[in-house]
Every structure is written in structure tokens, then in C-alpha cells.
Amino acid sequence: MAEPLEILNRLGALQSGHFRLTSGRHSDRYMQCARLFEHTPESEDLCARLAGAFLSGGTIADTVAGPALGGIIMAYEVARALGARNIFTERENGIMTLRRGFKVERGERVLIVEDVVTTGGSVKETAAVLRESGATVVGIGAIVDRSNGGVDFGVDFKALVSLDIKSWDEAECPFCARGATLTKPGSRKI
């Protein structure tokens, strides 16, 4: 069975090169998890592995929730693997909310998933919304943890892959220094 990192590389979800990120900083790797969910067998496989990790750790979830947009497909796949209910949160005027008639019951056990965790902001906002409704957040799951151990959710956090993706200001970029061609992620050249 292929390692999760190997699968992300093969599908182009994790790309190596010399990239200009949306922040303007330069990086040698670029993560685009949508490229994983483009491929349904691999998405099913990785989400089932994450679901299995929580199950074998004794976590029971009635519901899996993900923050839009990145968490929607993933939450569905993890929920399907667990036989659980699937909902998502989304921003309304910048505030994370439960819309579309989604409700959680008092005491409902919810697992929150997000494709890539960097600062964990969306996950924390999702947890806050669910707890306000009385739900119990039983864990946080991610395909990729980019936080370098810098995020503490206060509950069990599991990720299939931990990545330390470095980035530099253009002036300090070692790839620019050696004249490497710069790629803008999302362009057709990748």
C-alpha cells in the first residue's frame, strides 16, 4: 500500500519546484489538495485510512464536519467511511456558521476534518460553532499537517502527513539566487 505522501506526490497534490505563493513568498513545494480529491479512489483510500486511525484509537463520531471549501469533500468521504452523518460549516459575512438547515444535538460527537491544517483557524472556528450548539468535538483530522506542531486544538489531532514547507521573501530565496525559473501555482505549466 502506497504511503500517503507518495500518493500526494503522484497525483500532483504536492508539487516540488520554485513557487510564488499567494502571500508573495517563494517556496520549494506547493500543496493543492483539490488535486487529491480529483481522484476518487485515492480520496476514498486516504479518508478511510484517517477514519480508521480514529476508530482504532477508540474515537466514536456521530457526525463529521468540515469547514468550506476545503473540508467539504473530505468530510463527506471520512463520514462515509465511518457510517456517520456529514455536515459542513461556511462563512457568512466572514463569520463561520452552520447554514442550510444543518443542526447538531446537545452531546452529539463530532469529528472535524480539514484537508490542510496550517494555522488551524478555520478548524478552531468550526469547533467553536459546534460547541455553541452543544456538540462535543471528539477529534480533528487532516490529510496534511503543515503547522510544524504549532497548533493545539485541545483535542486529539491526527494527520496522515506532516510537512514542513519552508518559504522565503523573494530577496532571501535561495532558488532565485541561483536563477531557477519561478512558477505561479495553478498555471498550466506545472
Looking at beta carbons only, is 26 or 124 nearer to Zn ion?
Answer: 26
19 binds Zn ion per the rule CB under 5 A: no
Minimum CB separation of residue 176 from Zn ion in Å reads 3
Cα radius of gyration rounded to whole Å, the chain: 17
Scanning 33-41, 69-77, 113-121, 169-177 for contacts with Zn ion by CB under 5 A, the matching segment is 169-177
Q: Is 173 in the site for Zn ion (CB under 5 A)?
A: yes
Q: What is the widest separation between alpha-carbon atoms in the chain?
A: 58
For residue 176, state whether it binds Zn ion (rule: CB under 5 A).
yes
Residue nearest to Zn ion (CB): 173
The set of residues, in sequence order, having a beta carbon less than 8 Å from that of 58 and lying 6+ positions away, is none
Of 57 and 174, nearer to Zn ion (C-beta) is 174
Using rule CB under 5 A, residue 27 touches Zn ion: no
Nearer Cβ to Zn ion, position 5 or 180?
180
Q: Which of 28, 85, 133, 175 binds Zn ion (CB under 5 A)?
A: 175
Name which of 34 and 177 has its Cβ closer to Zn ion.
177
Closest listed residue to residue 123, CA positions, set 103, 107, 105, 143: 143
Pairing relation of β-strands 95-97 and 85-92? antiparallel
- Binding-site member from 8, 14, 26, 160 for Zn ion (CB under 5 A): 26
CB of 11 to Zn ion, least distance (A): 25
- Residue 73's Cβ-side half-sphere holds a number of Cα atoms within 13 Å equal to 17
Q: Which is nearer to Zn ion, 56 or 181 (CB)?
A: 181
Distance CA 89, CA 95 (A): 10
The residues of the shown chain that bind Zn ion, judged by CB under 5 A, are 26, 173, 175-176
